[in-house]
Amino acid sequence: MSPSQHPPVGVDAADRFRDASFPLIFERAAPGRRAARPPVVDGAPMAELLGEEHLRAQPPGLPEVAELDLVRHYTQLAHRQFSIDGNVYPLGSCTMKYNPKVHEEVAKRFQDVHPYQDEASAQGVLTVLAELQDDLASITGMDTVSLQPAAGAHGELAGILMIRAYHEAKGEGEQRRVVICPDGAHGTNPATASMAGYDVVEVPTGPDGEVDLDAFRAALGPNVAAVMLTNPNTLGLFETRILAIAEAAHAVGAQLYYDGANLNAIVGRARPGDMGFDVVHLNLHKTFTTPHGGGGPGTGPVGVKAHLAPYLPAPLLVRRDDGSVGAEGQRPTAIGRLRSHYGNVGNLVRAWAYIRTLGLEGLRRVSTMAVLNANYLRVRMREAGYQIAFDRVNMHEFVARPPDGLKTLDLAKMLLDYGVHPMTVYFPLVVREAMMVEPTETESIETLDAYAAVLGQVLRDAQRDPSLAHDAPRNTPVRRLDEVGAARRPILRYQVPQA
């Protein structure tokens, strides 16, 4: 089917493929079936209570299915899904470590507390949050932490808005219009800066894989509001000149922002606060192993040094004189609220459980073994015939690329046929055909050996027979997709047959 034959948005194309395709829940439905029954409350008709003009004309076209059909559908869908629990998932920059099962039990214990109930009747969950707030401040070396942001990018927005509020309070809001990001930065960094009303200036990566200090100094000036950095950076290298970078940024009055995506490399062993960072955000779904859930919910707490604390988003948790924990009202200088309530509490309590069970020694072992595993796999991958972008001791991840003539995309698809997940591909943008690998500390040496062996095998296969590369994957639930067609004529929903 060529892209031009794709039907317009909302028009169902399913009929043509039904025989060959896995059904949608709508295609398993029949009128009158039900899986679950809520309590029924009899009484006056809705037209009487609500007024006819407020009622909908037709019921929504939701599927009607029996319970066992529902169970089979979503169980079979789960079987069409790769996961960490299934096999190794070494996505660079994503920290796909094991998610402990005991955290799920902990989360259930706090899931029925309502954020508007009497504070005295919610001291359990509030205590958990207050302890986490303090622990994250200690771990990052910051003075205060807000747990509110719902994801890393949301934490970035909070951080950059605080920096903006700080400059405005000093009367420098008009003057400081620029945020500096390295060219290897995560895409969220420049997107956040523009969402906060700033222009973005990129500085290049130097020949050693770190920020080019001369170019960086040249970009600095009185117009710079903030510098956003990840350390270790997206090449998996620690910015050895970080103290000089911090000093140079502060010398022109800019604030230094720490993107916490790569904290797993140094957790317990080094702190952004000690490096000179003024703001950090953390991705609890990375370093602190709250489940990724197929794309969220994440959680992105943000920590600051004392001079930025007046701008923190509410609510902050405080310990009252009587020993209880409560939420402090909005500070008059605060950037405001970023979302409703306290944050993604279900994830916050999981992260609390992780820190409680590891302690400082456990966290240090996490970063140590994460770095050991990444270096081990770098060596094994080099032996398997891959080029390493900056072949020196790396931190928790590294960037490789295939020999000339082979495409990263093809090799990634070939890996799928071996039942393992590819690394992050084509990022960072500063390395051609990039393969960004982050095994994390929870994989065993045997698993890394097996992964390296598969990497070697697909490379040999691709060199021997290019059609093997081109045609992969062959054994997955579906094979390569027409992504261009999907974007050109988007079909974003199933057209439910009219009742």
**Closer CB to another protein, 20 or 404, in the complex:** 20
Show the site string, 230-259: x = touches another protein by CB under 8 A, - = not: -------xx-x-xx----------------
Residue 62 near another protein by CB under 8 A: yes
Distances in Å between the Cα of 367 and the Cα atoms of 171, 281, 395, 436 are: 41, 18, 9, 18
Place of tokens 């709508």: 26
Q: Which one of the spans 67-75, 216-224, 249-257, 397-405 is the region binding another protein (CB under 8 A)? A: 67-75
In the complex, least distance from residue 62 CB atom to another protein, rounded to whole angstroms: 5
**Hey, what amino acid is at 239?**
E
Calpha distance 240→219 (Å, rounded): 19
In the complex, least distance from residue 408 CB atom to another protein, rounded to whole angstroms: 13
Calpha distance 303→486 (Å, rounded): 40
Q: Of residues 57, 171, 174, 321, which one binds another protein by CB under 8 A?
A: 57
Q: Identify whether the C-beta of residue 151 lies closer than 8 Å to the C-beta of residue 200.
A: no
Residue 469 near another protein by CB under 8 A: no
In the complex, least distance from residue 319 CB atom to another protein, rounded to whole angstroms: 15
Calpha distance 163→181 (Å, rounded): 15
| Whole-angstrom Cα Rg for the chain | 26
**Closer CB to another protein, 339 or 407, in the complex:** 339
Q: Classify 458 as helix, strand or coil.
A: helix
Site for another protein in 171-200 (CB under 8 A): 186-188, 190-197, 200
**Closer CB to another protein, 404 or 446, in the complex:** 446
Q: Which one of the spans 245-253, 263-271, 431-439, 456-464 is the region binding another protein (CB under 8 A)? A: 263-271
Q: Which one of the spans 39-47, 218-226, 398-406, 458-466 is the region binding another protein (CB under 8 A)? A: 39-47
Residue 303 near another protein by CB under 8 A: no
Place of tokens 């080019």: 212
**Closer CB to another protein, 271 or 404, in the complex:** 271
Q: Of residues 88, 92, 125, 159, which one binds another protein by CB under 8 A?
A: 125
**Closer CB to another protein, 35 or 306, in the complex:** 35
Q: Of residues 372, 388, 450, 468, which one binds another protein by CB under 8 A?
A: 372
In the complex, least distance from residue 215 CB atom to another protein, rounded to whole angstroms: 18
In the complex, least distance from residue 482 CB atom to another protein, rounded to whole angstroms: 5
Site for another protein in 90-119 (CB under 8 A): 91, 94, 96-100, 102, 104-106, 109-119
**Closer CB to another protein, 22 or 218, in the complex:** 22
Residue 81 near another protein by CB under 8 A: yes
Bridge partners of residue 227, in order along the sequence: 180, 256
Calpha distance 310→208 (Å, rounded): 39
Phi-psi region of 171 (alpha: psi -120 to 50; beta: other; left: phi over 0): left
**Hey, what amino acid is at 70?**
L
Residue from 494, 475, 336, 341 nearest 413 by CA: 475
Q: Identify whether the C-beta of residue 349 lies closer than 8 Å to the C-beta of residue 373.
A: no
Residue 2 near another protein by CB under 8 A: no
Q: Identify whether the C-beta of residue 408 lies closer than 8 Å to the C-beta of residue 402.
A: yes
Place of tokens 């510098």: 227
Residue from 93, 301, 263 nearest 187 by CA: 93
Cis ω before 439 (30° cut-off from 0): no
Sheet holding 255-260, edge to edge: 144-146, 302-304, 279-282, 255-260, 224-229, 178-182, 199-203
**Closer CB to another protein, 98 or 465, in the complex:** 98
Calpha distance 31→62 (Å, rounded): 10
Q: Identify whether the C-beta of residue 125 lies closer than 8 Å to the C-beta of residue 107.
A: no
Calpha distance 85→82 (Å, rounded): 8
Residue 279 near another protein by CB under 8 A: no
Total residues contacting another protein (rule CB under 8 A)?
A: 203
Residue 56 near another protein by CB under 8 A: yes
Residue 39 near another protein by CB under 8 A: yes
Q: Of residues 4, 467, 492, 498, which one binds another protein by CB under 8 A?
A: 492
Longest dimension (CA), the chain: 76
Calpha distance 452→325 (Å, rounded): 50
Residue 491 near another protein by CB under 8 A: yes
In the complex, least distance from residue 190 CB atom to another protein, rounded to whole angstroms: 4
Q: Of residues 310, 331, 376, 385, which one binds another protein by CB under 8 A?
A: 376
Site for another protein in 384-413 (CB under 8 A): 393, 395, 412-413
Q: Of residues 218, 251, 360, 453, which one binds another protein by CB under 8 A?
A: 360
**Closer CB to another protein, 35 or 218, in the complex:** 35
Strands 398-401 and 424-425: what pairing? unpaired
Show the site string, 314-353: x = touches another protein by CB under 8 A, - = not: ----------------x----xxxxxxxxxxxxx-----x
**Closer CB to another protein, 277 or 404, in the complex:** 277
Calpha distance 184→235 (Å, rounded): 8
